[in-house]
Amino acid sequence: MERIEVTDLFESYYKVMELIWEKPDFRTQGPQRIPSFAIFWYDLEGFLHENLFIAACARRVYKSIGMELSSQYIQKLIEVCDSTGRRRPGNSGIYYGSGFDWGEPTDQTLKPLVIAADMVGTNLEDTRLYINIK
């Protein structure tokens, strides 16, 4: 069994999203030709989640153990653990995706959340992410 930590990759993905969010024109106006800014944001988040975070996880698995795995399979292997590295119980230990604490519209930063299969967001600072290859 191989356990590969990917928390740093999630942090990098979050930093990219934060850089986009910090641009005042993006945050307050959004692209003018898109009818719903929220839809645009979630599409962008999904695209970057898949093509930055999940792709980086797949690359790390390949470099660590030489296995090529699909992004869908990689996402199913990610475990949500507490800050000590112990897997959270039940559905709270199964990775679902990313999220952000939006705060107030005037906030300059977003706070990253790790969303588990129980659909509860946990602050990244309280969470470790691992890929567990059995």
Range of the structural domain that residue 105 is part of: 2-133
When pLDDT is cut at 50, 70 and 90, the band that residue 38 belongs to is: low
Predicted confidence (pLDDT) at residue 33 exceeds the cutoff of 80: no
Number of domains in the chain: 1
98 touches 10 (CB < 8 A):
yes
Alpha helices in the chain (DSSP H): 7-22, 24-28, 37-48, 55-65, 71-77
Q: What is the pLDDT of residue 36?
A: 63
| The model's pTM | 0.84
What is the separation, in whole angstroms, between the first and last Cα of the chain? 5
* pLDDT per residue as tens digits for the range 47-93: 999 999 999 999 999 999 999 999 889 999 999 999 999 999 999 99
CB 27 within 8 A of CB 18: no
Residue 121 and residue 10 in contact, taking contact as beta carbons nearer than 8 Å: no
Structure tokens at 75: 């996402």
